[in-house]
């Protein structure tokens, strides 16, 4: 799975990141690389530093939002 290590790092570091809720964290591999006020700032910084390699930019929030899709949505997209 893509970004599996980065997502595990986010889960592992969630307690340490809790005080920064609403900001955006940049994670590469098993390291938290930076925390930024906006998604755009985080993304720009990460691309400037590593280019088009794998990294995660994620909003720090207490609970992740779940997205639900049904087969009906898939059907609608195909027609």
- Over residues 27-72, the pLDDT tens digits come to 999 999 999 999 999 999 999 999 999 999 999 997 766 666 555 5
pLDDT score recorded for residue 2: 81
Over the chain, what HEC string results?
A: CCCHHHHHHHHHHHHHHHHHCCCEEEEECCEEEEEECCHHHHHHHHHHHHCCCCCEEEECCCCCCCCCCCHHHHHHHHC
pLDDT score recorded for residue 15: 92
pLDDT score recorded for residue 62: 79
How sure is the predictor about 16, in pLDDT bands with cuts at 50, 70 and 90? very high
Averaged pLDDT for residues 70-76:
54
């Amino acid at each position: 799975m893509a970004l599996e290590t980065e997502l595990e790092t986010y889960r592992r570091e969630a307690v340490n990141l809790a005080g920064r809720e609403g900001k955006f964290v940049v994670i590469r591999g098993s390291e938290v690389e930076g925390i930024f006020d906006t998604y755009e700032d985080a993304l720009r910084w990460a691309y400037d530093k590593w280019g088009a390699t794998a990294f995660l930019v994620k909003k720090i929030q207490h609970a992740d939002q779940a997205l639900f899709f049904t087969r009906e949505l898939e059907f609608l997209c195909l027609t």
